[in-house]
């Protein structure tokens, strides 16, 4: 799903404005207070280190994907990390890539938050959905992409509607918001799901394997993630029904002076159309 900046503002502007206010609440709003003499400055710590430590996905095509042939991470979120590094180090995007100013670490829904808290990571840019609960613990940029939850099934399953998930076993990722989104969506169809209808897995390949082996009936996750595992034997259940809106933001440590730098850069890239171009480049839904 590719949105122009104008469409983004029209459709999600109000929500983004609210989130932006909440996301950066408590951040240092005075850049001068985070000068080189401030030992608490995250920005200065990164400059001294010489690398921006980035938490990314390794298994989501088009967003964060570790190419086994090249051994390199690739995707919109990888490029976005280099844009953030460029802003921190005061160089161009091209120079940030050439100089390798990003250090990438693969994260999962369970590890991404703790790795920010213990300062192992400076940012997490990994299809990380902004929620009120998460805003209590971390700062988030305004959303740079919007996705929706989908349910992937085997074509041979015989299921045609979300209501057909009644009594079925659904695979989801540990620590994700997917379970609540699916439960709410099928409730609108008069179907009640309980915790017993869900199996949680540590990573996406495990869920996909469980689906293909018949250990679960459906794989629920953001559509951007499901696209990585789609093939001729699989399909989305009722793809025309959009639910579980997911607004992706870049997470930083709560109150960090880095948060403002990140948010400003994201909005610049929304305004100048760079993020829209990236979505096209990476063939994002």
- Indicate which CATH number applies to the domain containing 85: 3.40.190.10
Average pLDDT estimate for 131-151? 97
Let me know whether 152 and 83 are in one domain.
Answer: no
Query: Do residues 46 and 52 make contact, with C-beta atoms less than 8 angstroms apart?
Result: yes
Based on the fold, state whether residues 277 and 221 are members of the same structural domain.
Answer: no
* pLDDT tens digit sequence for 11-47: 444 433 334 444 453 344 343 333 334 558 999 999 9
CB atoms within 10 A of CB 135: 18
CA distance 190 to 266: 40
Structural domain harbouring 112 = 42-144+249-281
Judge whether residue 206 has pLDDT over 50. Answer: yes
Same domain, 72 and 204: no
Residues 199/210, Cβ–Cβ less than 8 Å: yes
Buried b (16+ CB within 10 A) or exposed e, 235-251: bebbeeeebbebbbbbb
Give the chain's domain count: 2
Strand partners, 162: none
pLDDT at 155: 97
* Residue 186 domain flag: yes
Q: Are residues 259 and 139 in the same domain?
A: yes
Is the pLDDT confidence value at 230 over 80?
Answer: yes
Q: Say what the pLDDT of residue 40 is.
A: 84
Rounded Cα–Cα distance for residues 190 and 244 (Å):
17
Do 46 and 94 lie in one domain? The reply is yes
Residues, the chain: 285
Its pTM stands at 0.78
| pLDDT value for 177 | 84
Q: Which residues pair with 124 in a beta bridge?
A: 55, 251
> Do residues 180 and 232 share a domain?
yes
The answer to whether residues 257 and 134 belong to one domain is yes
Query: What is the sign, positive or negative, of the torsion defined by CA atoms of 251, 252, 253, 257?
Result: negative
Least confident piece of the model among 34-38, 133-137, 244-248: 34-38
State the pLDDT confidence band at 260, using cuts at 50, 70 and 90. very high
- Assess if residue 71 is contained within a domain: yes
DSSP labels, 91-159: --HHHHHHTT-EEEEE--TTTHHHHHHTTS-SEE-SS-B--HHHHTTEEEPSPSEEEEEEEEEEGGG--
Note whether 223 and 258 are same-domain residues. Answer: no
Q: Which two tokens stand for residue 190?
A: 């008069």
pLDDT at 70 over 90: yes
pLDDT at 152: 98
The whole-chain average pLDDT of the chain stands at 88
Report the percent of the chain where pLDDT is more than 90.
80
- In the chain, what is the straight-line distance between the N-terminal and C-terminal CA atoms, in Å? 4
Phi, psi (degrees; rounded to nearest 5) at 252 = -135, 170
Neighbours of 44 (CB within 10 A): 18
Does a structural domain hold residue 35?
Answer: no
* Residue 20 lies inside a defined structural domain of this protein: no
156 C-beta neighbours (distance < 10 Å), count: 9
Residue 96 within any structural domain of the chain: yes
6: left (phi over 0), alpha (psi -120 to 50) or beta: alpha
Q: How confident is the model at residue 284 (pLDDT cuts 50, 70, 90)?
A: confident
Q: Does one domain contain both 254 and 138?
A: yes
- Residue 20's pLDDT is 44
Mean pLDDT is lowest, of 38-52, 138-152, 239-253, for: 38-52
Mean pLDDT of 222-242: 94
Confidence of residue 139 (pLDDT cuts 50, 70, 90): very high
Given pLDDT bands bounded at 50, 70 and 90, which one contains residue 109? confident
26 against 271, higher pLDDT = 271
**Contact by Cβ (8 Å): 62, 284:** yes
The 3-state DSSP class for residue 272 equals: coil
């Amino acid at each position: 799903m590719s949105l122009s900046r104008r469409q983004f503002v029209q459709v999600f502007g109000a929500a983004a404005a609210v989130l932006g206010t909440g996301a950066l609440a408590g951040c240092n709003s005075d850049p001068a207070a985070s000068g080189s003499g401030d030992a608490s400055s995250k920005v200065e710590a990164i400059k001294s280190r010489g690398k921006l430590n980035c938490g990314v996905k390794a298994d989501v095509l088009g967003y964060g994907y570790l190419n086994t042939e090249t051994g390199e991470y690739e995707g919109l979120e990888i490029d976005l990390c280099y844009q953030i590094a460029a802003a921190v180090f005061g160089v161009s995007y091209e120079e940030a890539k050439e100089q390798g100013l990003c250090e990438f670490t693969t994260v999962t829904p369970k590890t991404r938050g703790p790795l920010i808290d213990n300062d192992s990571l400076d940012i997490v840019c990994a299809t990380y959905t902004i929620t009120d609960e998460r805003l209590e613990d971390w700062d988030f940029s305004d959303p740079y992409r919007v996705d929706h939850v989908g349910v992937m099934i085997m074509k041979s399953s015989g299921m045609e509607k979300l209501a057909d998930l009644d009594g079925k076993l659904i695979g989801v990722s540990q620590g994700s918001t997917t379970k609540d989104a699916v439960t709410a969506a099928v409730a609108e169809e008069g179907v009640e799901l309980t915790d017993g209808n869900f199996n949680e897995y540590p990573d996406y390949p495990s869920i996909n394997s469980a689906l293909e082996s018949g250990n679960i009936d459906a794989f629920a996750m953001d559509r951007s993630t499901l696209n990585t595992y789609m093939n001729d034997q699989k399909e989305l259940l009722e793809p025309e029904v959009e639910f579980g809106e997911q607004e992706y933001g870049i997470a930083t440590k709560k109150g960090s002076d880095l948060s403002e730098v990140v948010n400003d850069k994201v909005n610049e890239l929304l305004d100048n159309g760079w993020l829209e171009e990236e979505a096209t480049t990476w063939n994002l839904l």
